[in-house]
Amino acid sequence: MSSLKFIAISGTTDVTENLYIYEYGNDMIIVDCGVGFPEAEMYGIDLVIPDFGYIRKNAHKLRGLIVTHAHEDHLGAIPFLLKEVRTPIYATKLVAGFLEDKFAEHKIRDVKVNVFDPQRDTLTLGVFKVTPFRVSHSVPDGVGYAIDTPEGRVFHIPDYKFDWTPVDGKPFDIAKVAMLASKGTLMVASDCLGATTPGYTESEMEIENQIERIAKDATGRIFFTTISSNISRMQQALNVAKGLGRKVSFIGRSVETKAEIARNVGYLNYPGDLVVAGRKAARLSKNKVMYIISGSYGQPGSALYRVAHAEHKFLSADPGDTVIFSADPAPPGSKANVDAVVDRLIEIGANVHYYDMQEDLHVSGHGSQEDILTLFALIKPKYFIPIGGTIRHMRAYKDLAVRMGAKQNSVFELKPGEIVEFKGSQARKTGKVDVRDVLVDGLGIGDVGNVVLRDRQKLAQEGAAIILIQVDKKNQRLLNDPQVISRGFVFEKKEKGFLIGAGKLLGAEIRKKKRVDKRVARNVTIDFLEKYFYKETGRRPMVLPVIVEA
């Protein structure tokens, strides 16, 4: 007999990389497929994506991928999945627009996103009947799903809050959810990121007043930055600029592209003469322009980074200009980059308003404790699965569920790959899918593992010593003392005597061998110099022998 399986491929112990599977018999659907962001020690890594191994193995069961909203940690890995497995994709208008732009960027053709209206449409995907409903989040056009399965109705609701005055005017569809939940709920898988935060999460609408307060006092240019998918925040900046008689220019590819997509599908509204091209805006009086600019995470090479470092083609930040950061530095390692940009802008003489100033320029898109309790009361599920947070958020979520009367064993805190199985209104953990983080480095996908990362970390921290060795191939002997070249290990000019001495000592060590070939020279070099360098300097550079046979 078949049972319903919920598989958390990733997205439970980390805030990112959301990918969840519902499987029953020969039918399987995926909810979301997002990227993760590299930790500081992941040198050279661009993105982290989920492990698609289980999906590849069961591709014949796959009936579709449904997407909840337009953030990268929920949709950014879809192009990588499509390069391995093709499947129908279902999303709202704004999400579909963002995805189609991604597909063009990745040169993925012949993939159509099926657009649904969450107010009236339902989806039939194998044995699963999926009913979407609107939720409030920091990006518009987000949804949750009620999924009818042979074992009962489940709700999947990542990244939500109860915002009754959202910027797009479309609040959480609480009436539809109440109606859907009235027939009973087997399980809810829902956002736990705000489970440690008391109260309700504030409305996005409050931010517009703060932006206006700062902008009113600005006498120079205004640079406004937020994450490029935060269309609601862009709309608020546009509203403020219009009210103050300033023209607006979008700067940075990601901001320009997403703003155009959002306007085309009706989620960004402004009169045609409000927005002008960047070069035209640069010629306007400083007090007559606002730039909505990419780079809120301080990304090197982003438009705001280049402005701060006087590297932009036609824009610069001058003393008296105002810079507004309306985003928290959320991805791992991003705060150091943002701090550096903020410091540079302050040094220039700009008036910088950023996350540390407590000016309410950012509110979370995630429900706090009272939002979570409200959802539990609304849906009344038998079982609970926290998603989209970390270990501590899952435990706080469990505590909230127990406070509402749930049994301790009705809340499943899942590690990546773990499976919960539902059969006859009962649920239990039944195993684990083998998963790993897949690292994206440039054009390479999954070809960088722990060994490569350890090497990169060692190079970054200790440097490298390159050893040039000449071997007489015929007589199998060393021709002369090896030459030691330092890269990031010691200052070569100052320590030239030390490096020459190391080469002489290494040469004497190699000559102790009766026969010297490439293998012997390599092994002796690494073994001897690793110990010698540590003894003399306390450092362990990467020793890289380069052996030439003459």
CATH number for the domain harbouring residue 276 = 3.40.50.10710
**Does the pLDDT of residue 173 top 90, yes or no?**
yes
Is residue 42 located within the same domain as residue 114? yes
Is residue 413 located within the same domain as residue 309? no
Print the domain residue range for 309. Answer: 205-357
* pLDDT for the residue 203: 87
Q: pLDDT for 303-335, tens place per residue?
A: 999 999 999 999 999 999 999 999 876 665 678
* pLDDT for the residue 447: 43
Q: pLDDT for 318-377, tens place per residue?
A: 999 999 999 876 665 678 888 999 999 999 999 999 877 656 788 888 999 999 999 999
Is residue 271 located within the same domain as residue 239? yes
Closest CA to 51 of 92, 11, 107: 11
Is residue 341 located within the same domain as residue 401? no
Whether 33 is covered by a domain: the verdict is yes
* pLDDT for the residue 537: 81
* pLDDT for the residue 358: 59
Q: Helices 231-243 and 253-264 meet at what angle, rounded to 10?
A: 90
Is residue 433 located within the same domain as residue 385? yes
* pLDDT for the residue 544: 83
Based on the structure, what is the number of domains in the chain? 3
Closest CA to 499 of 457, 455, 468, 472: 468
How far is Cα 435 from Cα 8, in angstroms, rounded to an integer? 10
Is residue 81 located within the same domain as residue 212? no
* pLDDT for the residue 422: 97
* pLDDT for the residue 446: 45
* pLDDT for the residue 476: 83
Is residue 300 located within the same domain as residue 424? no
| 321: three-class secondary structure by DSSP | coil
How far is Cα 289 from Cα 244, in angstroms, rounded to an integer? 10
* pLDDT for the residue 215: 95
**Annotated catalytic residue within 156, 366, 437, 481:** 366
Query: What ranges in 182-252 are assigned the alpha helix state H?
Result: 205-216, 231-243
How far is Cα 294 from Cα 306, in angstroms, rounded to an integer? 10
Residue ending a domain, choose from 338, 357, 376: 357
Is residue 479 located within the same domain as residue 430? no
Residue ending a domain, choose from 325, 357, 389: 357
> What number is the average pLDDT over the span 50-56?
93
Catalytic status, residue 312: no
Is residue 406 located within the same domain as residue 332? no
Confidence label for 38 from pLDDT (cuts 50, 70 and 90): low
Confidence label for 457 from pLDDT (cuts 50, 70 and 90): low
Is residue 209 located within the same domain as residue 246? yes
Whether 226 is covered by a domain: the verdict is yes
Whether 309 is covered by a domain: the verdict is yes
**Does the pLDDT of residue 458 top 60, yes or no?**
no
Is residue 268 located within the same domain as residue 406? no
- Model confidence pTM above 0.85: no
Residue ending a domain, choose from 357, 387, 408: 357
**Annotated catalytic residue within 141, 159, 173, 191:** 191
High-pLDDT (> 70) share of the chain, %: 91
Closest CA to 36 of 440, 449, 366: 440
Catalytic status, residue 447: no
* pLDDT for the residue 416: 95
Q: pLDDT for 124-170, tens place per residue?
A: 999 999 999 999 998 999 999 999 999 999 999 999 999 998 888 89
Strand partners, 387: 191
Confidence label for 443 from pLDDT (cuts 50, 70 and 90): very low
